[in-house]
C-alpha cells in the first residue's frame, strides 16, 4: 500500500467553501477626506454623502485626519473612524446597525 499508493494515508486538511469567504476592502478616513474634497468640488453640495458600499469598500478605518464634515454610509466601521468624523462635524451611517434597529 505504501509503495504503490503513498498518498493513501495522511491528512488532506479542510478548506472552507468559497461561498463562505468574504473579501474585506478597507479605506482610511484620511483617504476618504480626499475623496470628499474631490466630490464637493465636482458637485458643489454642502453635505458630502459618500456611500462606501456603492464605491466597493466594506470597512472604514480611522487612520488619517478629517478636515471637513462628511456624511458616510458604510457597511462596517471602526470606533476611531466614527470618533474622528463626528469630531469634525460629520456623521456615520452604519448599515449593520440600521438592520438591527
Instruction: For 66-76, write each residue's pLDDT tens digit.
Output: 988 899 999 99
Which structural domains are found in the chain, ordered by start?
Answer: 26-100 (3.100.10.10)
Q: What is the mean pLDDT of the chain?
A: 83
pTM of the model: 0.70
**Residue pointed to by grid coordinates 484620511:** 30
Measure Cα distances from 27 to 9, 22, 36 in Å.
46, 16, 13
3-state secondary structure of 38: helix
Give the residue from 27, 51, 56 showing the smallest Cα distance to 39. 51
Separation between Cα atoms, residue 18 and residue 77, nearest integer Å: 24
Amino acid at each position: 500500500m505504501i509503495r504503490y499508493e503513498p498518498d493513501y494515508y495522511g491528512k488532506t486538511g479542510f478548506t472552507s467553501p468559497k461561498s463562505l469567504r468574504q473579501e474585506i476592502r478597507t479605506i482610511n478616513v484620511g483617504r476618504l477626506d480626499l475623496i470628499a474634497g474631490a466630490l464637493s468640488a465636482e458637485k458643489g453640495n454642502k453635505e458630502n454623502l459618500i456611500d462606501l458600499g456603492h464605491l466597493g469598500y466594506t470597512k472604514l478605518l480611522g487612520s488619517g485626519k478629517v478636515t471637513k464634515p462628511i456624511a458616510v454610509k458604510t457597511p462596517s466601521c471602526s470606533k476611531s473612524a466614527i470618533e474622528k468624523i463626528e469630531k469634525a462635524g460629520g456623521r456615520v451611517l452604519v448599515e449593520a446597525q440600521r438592520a438591527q434597529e
